């Protein structure tokens, strides 16, 4: 991914926590710095993004809260005026508001905003006037941008990508040993934050049917979030509390995926679903829902069949049927995991995400200083 000149990139993030978008930003920024480009990060004080990137040696400056107070905007404006970056990248909607206002009228090559929310933008005008290009994480997100009034010529789709080597380093033996899983147990793994959008409540209801058919099945939920206590209570009320493990945040996700007999993501809302890509590369059968960008990952595509068992979002009965079908269809599962891995390696790696993003950066910088990207 060569470039004729080294870029100066200012990256603005107001996120408090570390989720898939933060990982994608880190992978991109790390590559840019390794190639000799200059990256300066402006991030929420006390946020996980600022902390981790500072620990990795990045140049990080912080601001209060979401950065929209007058002092933070004025301070960021001074920094950007002095830096004169080729690219200002707004990682989230609040970053676009604060950073976009700070960048107005400055000598900046191009302003780029990420869009990762499945919901129609409430204020589409700010995408039209405060940035030159919107990078949507899926075609579904691009469509929501259009519905919110963002011009089609201003939007490009770049899928999230993961590092195949990290996922493929997982060990089935190590993962099952860490969970004390017996050799005859059927292990179902979920990797997702414990938030409403991820559909865990639907999954727990579906598991009542699954456990009747597969009494030896065990389920573990990797991830944490605001619904942890209520989900633990729901599992207890349903009488399945002893069959469902709440693991919290884990650093050994590759091991967990390789240990799994089935990966499940029961999302109600999902812009894309990078944990699904991990499962594709780990060669584990997948059950997931039809929402947001998920069909773009695992649904029928370019004449190829689906590479996951799919259920409507928010439908526990259909989800249970999909799980039971997957557990009872070993030959179909073998075909799906082969095709899923091939698809992920072709379309959803970190290298592909970085190459496509940097290509957009270079086209913007080479084309002009400011203005919307041409079609």
150: three-class secondary structure by DSSP: coil
Over residues 126-147, mean pLDDT: 96
**In which element (H, E) is residue 289 found?**
strand 286-290
pLDDT at 145: 96
Least confident among 209-218, 256-265, 360-369 = 360-369
Q: Indicate the CATH number of 8-161+350-367 among 3.60.21.10, 3.20.20.70, 3.40.50.2000, 3.40.50.620.
A: 3.40.50.2000
Residue 261 near residue 188 (C-beta atoms within 8 A):
yes
pLDDT digits (tens, 9 = 90+) for 190-207: 999 999 999 999 999 999
Phi, psi of 17 (to 5 degrees): -110, 180
Q: Which residues pair with 221 in a beta bridge?
A: 190, 246
15: three-class secondary structure by DSSP: coil
pLDDT digits (tens, 9 = 90+) for 36-51: 999 999 999 999 999 9
1: pLDDT confidence band, cut at 50, 70 and 90? very low
> CB atoms < 10 A from the CB of 239, how many?
10
Please determine, for residue 177, whether its predicted confidence score (pLDDT) is greater than 60. yes
Please determine, for residue 370, whether its predicted confidence score (pLDDT) is greater than 50. no
368: pLDDT confidence band, cut at 50, 70 and 90? low
Instruction: Give the predicted TM-score (pTM) of the model.
Output: 0.92
> Using the 8-state DSSP alphabet, how is residue 270 labeled?
-
Over residues 329-335, mean pLDDT: 97
In 3D space, the residue among 205, 169, 131 whose CA is nearest the CA of residue 360 turns out to be: 131
- Beta-carbon contacts of 171 under 8 Å, excluding residues fewer than 6 positions away, are 254, 255, 258
Please determine, for residue 2, whether its predicted confidence score (pLDDT) is greater than 60. no
Within 228-313, where are the H helices? 228-237, 253-259, 274-281, 294-298
164-347 homologous superfamily: Glycogen Phosphorylase B; (3.40.50.2000)
pLDDT at 258: 98
The dihedral region occupied by 230, where left means phi > 0, alpha psi between -120 and 50, and beta the remainder, is alpha
Least confident among 20-24, 253-257, 309-313, 316-320 = 20-24
Please determine, for residue 312, whether its predicted confidence score (pLDDT) is greater than 60. yes
Please determine, for residue 85, whether its predicted confidence score (pLDDT) is greater than 90. yes
pLDDT digits (tens, 9 = 90+) for 337-355: 999 999 999 999 999 999 9
Q: Which residue has the tokens 């200083």?
A: 369
For helices 20-34 and 350-367, the axis angle rounded to 10 degrees is 70
Give residue limits of the domains in the chain: 8-161+350-367, 164-347
Residue 309 near residue 286 (C-beta atoms within 8 A):
yes
What is the overall mean pLDDT for the chain? 94
Percent of the chain at pLDDT exceeding 90: 90
């Amino acid at each position: 991914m060569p470039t004729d000149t080294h870029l100066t990139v200012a990256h603005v993030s107001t996120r408090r926590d570390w989720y898939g978008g933060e990982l994608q930003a880190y992978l991109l920024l790390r590559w840019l710095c390794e190639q000799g480009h200059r990256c300066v990060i402006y991030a929420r004080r006390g946020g996980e993004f600022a902390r981790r990137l500072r620990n990795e040696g990045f140049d990080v400056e912080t601001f209060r809260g979401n950065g929209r107070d007058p002092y933070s905007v004025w301070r960021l404006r001074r920094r950007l005026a002095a830096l004169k970056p080729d690219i200002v990248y707004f990682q989230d909607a609040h970053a676009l508001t604060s950073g976009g206002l700070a960048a107005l009228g400055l000598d900046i090559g191009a302003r780029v905003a990420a869009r990762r929310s499945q919901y129609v933008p409430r204020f589409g005008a700010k995408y039209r006037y405060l940035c030159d290009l919107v990078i949507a994480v899926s075609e579904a997100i691009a469509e929501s941008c259009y519905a919110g009034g963002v011009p089609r010529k201003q939007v490009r789709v770049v899928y999230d990508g993961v590092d195949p080597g990290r996922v493929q380093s997982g060990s089935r033996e190590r993962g099952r040993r860490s969970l004390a899983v017996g050799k005859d147990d059927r292990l179902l793994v979920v990797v997702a934050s414990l938030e409403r959008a991820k559909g865990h409540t639907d999954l727990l209801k579906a598991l009542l049917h699954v456990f009747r058919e597969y009494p030896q099945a065990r389920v573990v939920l990797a991830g944490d979030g605001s619904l942890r206590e209520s989900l633990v209570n729901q599992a207890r009320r349903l009488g399945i509390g002893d069959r469902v493990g709440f693991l919290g945040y884990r650093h050994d996700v590759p091991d967990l995926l390789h240990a799994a007999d089935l990966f499940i993501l029961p999302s109600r809302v999902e812009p894309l679903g990078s944990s699904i890509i991990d499962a594709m590369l780990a060669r584990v059968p997948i059950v997931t829902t039809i929402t947001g960008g998920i069909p773009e990952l695992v649904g029928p595509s370019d004449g190829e069949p689906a590479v996951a068992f799919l259920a409507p979002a928010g439908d526990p009965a259909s989800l249970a049927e999909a799980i039971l079908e997957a557990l009872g269809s070993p030959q179909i599962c073998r075909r799906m995991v082969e095709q899923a891995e091939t698809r992920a390696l072709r379309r959803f790696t970190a290298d592909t995400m970085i190459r496509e993003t940097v290509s957009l950066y270079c086209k913007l910088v080479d084309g002009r200083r400011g203005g919307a990207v041409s079609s």
